[in-house]
Structure 1
Amino acid sequence: MTDGLNDQRTARVADLLCDFRTLQYYIVSGPESPPNQEDYYAEGWAALRQCSLDGQHILNCAAETRVPRVSGGPLEQAKAELQQVMLDAFARRHEGQKIYLRQAAAQRWVSWRDQILQGGRPHSGNTSQLASCDVQLRVELADITDDTVYTDLRSSDYEMGRWTLEDPPLRHVQRWLRARR
């Protein structure tokens, strides 16, 4: 007995993959190396390099292709396959959004640092301001959690009028992500 929702599932997967593709574009185009190599190990630049590595990883990790056989005919099998693909796309978009938000925080750090340094180098007169930038970066990165990303994406999907009836719960997304680390 089919439920008639495979078209909505297909559209949802397409939306998720489109979002993920856009996130990947932004992640890949982010900076990784500072103009001055003395800053290579500074917190924000290290965070940007990690975002690039994480973005490559989530793009390159294999999809889960094992779908259990279900009874009920080809439409029910298509439903099961679409739900599996939806979880994969949903989890990739979720992780892509987390990476993108971390990258944006690190890019703000670069901007703040540039404003403090004004083309110069760190010195005793700007040490406390630079330390404040580092603290702010750590706070922002700590605020980027699975819960907040999941909630924000769900709210955004709802506001855009997307079909979210069968979106996977956060614990399934986290399980998918753990399996690919």
Structure 2
Amino acid sequence: MDGLNEQRAARIADLLSDFRTLQYYIAAAPVEPQHEDDYYTEGWAVLRQCSLDGQHILNCSAETRVPRVQGGPEEQAKAELQHVQLDAYARRHEAQKIYLRQEAAQRWIGWRDHTLQGQRPQASHLAGLENCDAALRAELAAIIDDSIYSDMSSSDYQMGRWTLEDPSPRQIQRWIRDRR
């Protein structure tokens, strides 16, 4: 018995609180453009996909099979808490990725609106709109798991959260892969 089950439970509560906040932001993002002919543009397609991904990460089932361990009830509780922590951490990680993608797409909307200046797209806007799309693609390409993991870990540390048993990036990737 290591006496850390209270810290494990508090860590899970922090992770689930972060996940809930991210889900709120994901659900609040727009998915329908004001103009019907903008529906299939890149940024709006990203926003719709993020909405679907947010629903998926919320609705995918947790792995409930926790291995039986030796050492009595306290050790079994430890194993169960570590199992739930991986689930909560991975969900938060994936929600953060979705949220960052949504932010990029919403910036794209702003760039596009600035380029169009209240007009509907026409040939004179083509270069500017292509630049908006290229900037969106570059931002999306920069949203990678390693940087998300590093940023979230750093943030947790700065907030004084207990991170001693946080799952590795590899464990998180396995969790995400298993739910696709």
| TM-score of the two chains, using structure 1 as the length reference | 0.99
* 1:39 matched residue in structure 2: 38
User: Do residues 27 (structure 1) and 26 (structure 2) align?
Assistant: yes
Q: Where in structure 2 are there 5+ consecutive unaligned residues?
A: none
User: Do residues 52 (structure 1) and 87 (structure 2) align?
Assistant: no
Deviation by residue 1:123-178 (Cα, 9 ceiling, x = unmatched): 11111011000000000000000101000000000110100000000000000000
* 1:110 matched residue in structure 2: 109
Q: Where in structure 1 are there 5+ consecutive unaligned residues?
A: none
Distance 1:101 1:50 in 2: 13
Distance 1:124 1:110 in 2: 19
* 2:93 matched residue in structure 1: 94
CA offset at residue 66 of structure 1? 0.5
Distance 2:135 2:24 in 1: 26
CA RMSD of aligned residues (A): 0.4
Distance 1:166 1:14 in 2: 14
Distance 1:26 1:35 in 2: 20
* 1:142 matched residue in structure 2: 141
Post-superposition, which runs of at least 4 consecutive aligned residues in structure 1 deviate over 2 A? none
| TM-score of the two chains, using structure 2 as the length reference | 0.99
* 2:120 matched residue in structure 1: 121
Counterpart residue identity of residue 116, structure 2 = L
- Share of identical aligned residues, percent? 69
CA offset at residue 94 of structure 1? 0.1
**Secondary structure, in 3 states, of the residue corresponding to 1:125?**
helix
Distance 1:124 1:73 in 2: 72
My pick for the range that moved more, 112-121 or 36-45, is: 112-121
